């Protein structure tokens, strides 16, 4: 996914800093959205948003670090770049322990900012690609009949046709027929790919 499809959510209570960061990134073709504080961002936040957050460490109300930690507790993996005019080693360490992609001290160079955002976008793009793959796999799985799902789950456990047949009280030949139908529906070419798909799909 290209940077034109992702958004940099800039959160800083200083309007001049927000505008400066937006200008730096905008000239590089990055799409931006600006917020004055963490509360405004959280109020607007939608689960489908993709990109990264560039948040000031010190904000009125909740800090950038508290926003990051709150998102992680809720299972939101949106990448964060923390910026600050009051950087120190313990704070930087806490940011990285809280899963920040980067920690930039003001004033930072445009190249530093873009490098941090690009690193965040790479992480986000990988997450979205995995999400798309899972969605595609789920769409294939729903085409299976309940019996085919049972056979697939037993294949994932490493069971052979005779063992599957005994477990489901059907003939080994019927198991092979089910496996052939499953492979066709899941668009896999051999048993090894079928096992990989089954393991990735889970029970």
Closest CA to 11 of 50, 63, 48: 63
> pLDDT tens digits, residue range 27-85?
999 999 999 999 999 999 998 899 999 999 999 999 999 999 999 999 999 999 999 98
Identify the residue with better confidence: 194 or 166. Answer: 166
- Express each pLDDT in 136-159 by its tens digit: 777 788 888 889 888 888 888 888
User: How many domains does the chain divide into?
Assistant: 2
Task: Please give the pLDDT value at position 202.
Answer: 59
Whole-angstrom distance, CA of residue 69 vs CA of residue 67? 6
User: Are residue 127 and residue 155 in the same domain, yes or no?
Assistant: no
In a shared domain, residues 66 and 121? yes
- Asked if residue 154 belongs to a domain, the reply is yes
**Structure confidence at residue 3 (pLDDT):** 59
Look up the CATH number of the domain holding residue 19: 3.40.50.2300
Examine the domain organization and report whether 98 and 30 are in the same domain. yes
């Amino acid at each position: 996914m290209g940077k034109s499809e992702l958004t940099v959510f800039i959160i800083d209570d200083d309007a001049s800093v927000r505008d400066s960061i937006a200008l730096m990134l905008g000239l590089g073709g990055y799409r931006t959205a600006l917020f004055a504080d963490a509360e405004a961002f959280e109020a607007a936040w939608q689960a489908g948003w993709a990109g990264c957050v560039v948040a000031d460490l010190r904000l009125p109300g909740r800090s950038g670090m508290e926003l990051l930690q709150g998102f992680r507790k809720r299972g939101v993996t949106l990448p964060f770049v923390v910026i600050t005019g009051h950087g120190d080693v313990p704070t930087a360490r806490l940011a990285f322990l809280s899963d920040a992609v980067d920690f930039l001290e003001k004033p930072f160079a445009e190249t530093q900012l873009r490098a941090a955002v690009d690193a965040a976008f790479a992480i986000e793009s990988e997450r979205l690609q995995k999400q798309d793959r899972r969605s595609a796999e789920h769409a294939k799985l729903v085409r299976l009949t309940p019996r085919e799902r049972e056979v697939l789950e037993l294949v994932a456990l490493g069971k052979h046709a005779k063992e599957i047949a005994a477990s489901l009280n059907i003939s080994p030949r019927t198991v092979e027929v089910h496996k052939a139908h499953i492979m066709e529906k899941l668009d896999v070419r051999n048993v090894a790919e079928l096992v990989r798909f089954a393991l990735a799909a889970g029970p």
